[in-house]
């Protein structure tokens, strides 16, 4: 009977659990392309986490155009570069007086990293972050992405009596592991969250087996209540294809335009909307200006999350022909809204999309196969509906924001 009572007892609510205090160090916060960070932080706070935010760079938009939630986050965030040279000098002097051995340890560590003098700028930023944490009585620093921002966090953990952890997304940091000191970060970290098995495997390659226990899989997610299907099945008119992502070579939008051109020549009735901005925009616009494509391709630019949701409501197909990804949140959002997806079988994407079950995956850089996959969906409304429904089920079951952040919270609690 006692065992039965334990098994059927309700788990303790988040409000009854001890409050967890930690700092997040981010590269840029809030950021239009990283809404998932804001969602993660706010959900953790709902789970009784006290999270202070430091951001190396300022917000990517003026405060006047931020939404209410983002404006609140911006006002509460400590911006390292914005603090200025006097704050940096003060941090150096303060650390020299309070923790001379720590400062020496941090300096020697940076010197062992080698490379250009920019590493000493990272040390300066780490001193500012470490002093900011001391003022707030914070002892753990968590950072997203394995690039420069986590290098600053690593140096802070080597200089001050604080621990550090990271969330690794990939794939950018995996292309130059020496530049981003991934082996040293694994050694320094108390633990590392990997957004999927692929990301974990890349860190396993860089570390001895006795470090693998630090590498924990913690998938991202989206809110299926916010991204829910609102569309009605069309009976006519052009099929609308949407691609959401920065306009950069890694996203493969030029492959998408080449595939789209093929389908136009075959007489398909369709339109394409590119959501996002970036250095490839001019070259993509030149392609879109060609006579056969003119008027069929719209460039939406970088838009807020609510606008993305509105665009997805009217989408028939979501296309993401990437060459390099972690596990894209943009794909999760489309799948949650029952928009059937065509993407590429690379890196972490197959952990989200199972080809012919939740969507269609093709080889990267193959415009013919990408066109064929889009053509199948354009020609077969029943297939679109079946894959769209399966995609939402996949997200609800495995990439649900609240469920995954609850698991993240428990992993934090067990280790802090």
Strands (E), 183-277: 191-194, 215-217, 239-244, 270-275
Q: Are residues 108 and 20 in the same domain?
A: yes
String of DSSP letters for 264-318: HHTT--EEEEEEB-STTHHHHHHHHTSTTTTTTEEEEES--HHHHHHHHHT-SEE
pLDDT band at 119; cut points 50, 70, 90: confident
321 pLDDT above the threshold of 70:
yes
Domains held by the chain: number: 2
- Better-predicted residue by pLDDT, 92 or 233: 92
35-63: average pLDDT = 96
- Better-predicted residue by pLDDT, 238 or 67: 238
20-27: average pLDDT = 98
Tell me the pLDDT tens digit for each residue of 282-310.
Answer: 999 999 999 899 999 999 999 988 899 99
230 pLDDT above the threshold of 80:
no
pLDDT score of 33: 86
Q: Is this structure's pTM higher than 0.75?
A: yes
Q: Are residues 192 and 264 in the same domain?
A: no
Q: Are residues 257 and 215 in the same domain?
A: no
DSSP 8-state class, residue 210: G
CATH number at residue 104: 3.40.50.2000
The position carrying tokens 């989200």 is 352
pLDDT score of 11: 44
130-151: average pLDDT = 97
60 pLDDT above the threshold of 80:
yes
Is residue 9, in this structure, part of any structural domain at all?
no
pLDDT band at 7; cut points 50, 70, 90: very low
pLDDT band at 191; cut points 50, 70, 90: very high
C-beta separation of 243 from 318 below 8 A: yes
Q: Are residues 338 and 359 in the same domain?
A: yes
Q: Which domain holds residue 336?
A: 239-398
Q: Are residues 152 and 250 in the same domain?
A: no
pLDDT score of 300: 97
Q: Are residues 59 and 182 in the same domain?
A: yes
Q: Is 349 buried (19+), middle (13-18) or exposed (0-12) by CB count in 10 A?
A: buried
5-20: average pLDDT = 55
% of the chain residues with pLDDT over 70 = 94
β-bridge partners, 275:
244, 301
Q: Are residues 350 and 409 in the same domain?
A: no
Q: Are residues 216 and 259 in the same domain?
A: no
10 pLDDT above the threshold of 90:
no
pLDDT score of 237: 86
336-364: average pLDDT = 97
């Amino acid at each position: 009977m006692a065992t039965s009572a334990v098994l059927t007892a309700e788990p303790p609510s988040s409000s009854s659990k001890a409050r967890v205090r930690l700092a997040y160090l981010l590269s840029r916060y809030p950021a239009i392309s990283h809404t998932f960070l804001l969602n993660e932080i706010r959900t953790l706070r709902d789970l009784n986490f006290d999270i202070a935010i430091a951001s190396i760079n300022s917000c990517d938009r003026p405060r006047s155009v931020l939404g209410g939630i983002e404006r609140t986050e911006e006002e509460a965030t400590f911006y390292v570069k914005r603090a200025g040279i006097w704050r940096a000098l003060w941090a150096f002097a303060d650390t020299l007086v309070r923790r001379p051995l720590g400062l020496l340890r941090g300096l020697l560590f940076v010197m062992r990293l080698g490379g250009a003098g920019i590493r000493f700028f990272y040390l300066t930023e780490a001193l500012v972050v470490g002093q900011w944490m001391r003022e707030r009585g914070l002892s753990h620093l968590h950072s997203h992405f394995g690039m420069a921002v986590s290098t600053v966090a690593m140096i802070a953990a080597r200089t001050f009596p604080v621990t550090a952890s990271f969330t690794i997304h990939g794939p950018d940091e995996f292309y130059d592991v020496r530049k981003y000191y991934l082996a040293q970060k694994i050694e320094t970290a108390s633990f590392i969250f990997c957004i999927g098995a692929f990301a974990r495997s890349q860190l396993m390659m860089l570390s001895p087996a006795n470090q693998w226990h630090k590498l924990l899989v913690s998938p991202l997610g989206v809110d299926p209540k916010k991204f829910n299907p609102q569309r009605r099945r069309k009976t006519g008119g052009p099929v609308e294809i949407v691609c959401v992502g920065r306009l950069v070579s890694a996203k493969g939008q030029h492959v998408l335009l080449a595939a789209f051109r093929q389908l136009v020549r075959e007489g398909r009735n369709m339109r394409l909307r590119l959501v996002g901005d970036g250095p490839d925009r001019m070259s993509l616009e030149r392609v879109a200006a060609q006579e056969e494509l003119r008027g069929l391709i719209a460039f939406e630019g970088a838009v807020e999350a609510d606008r993305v949701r509105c665009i997805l409501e009217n989408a028939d197909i979501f296309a993401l022909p990437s060459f390099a990804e972690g596990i894209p949140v943009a794909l999760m959002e489309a799948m949650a809204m029952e928009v059937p997806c065509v993407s590429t079988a690379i890196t972490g994407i197959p952990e989200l999309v199972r080809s012919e079950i939740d969507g269609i995956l093709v080889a990267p850089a193959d415009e013919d196969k990408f066109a064929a996959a889009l053509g199948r969906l354009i020609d077969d409304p029943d297939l679109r509906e079946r894959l769209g429904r399966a995609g939402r089920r996949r997200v609800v079951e495995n990439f649900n924001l609240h469920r995954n952040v609850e698991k993240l919270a428990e992993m934090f609690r067990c280790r802090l």
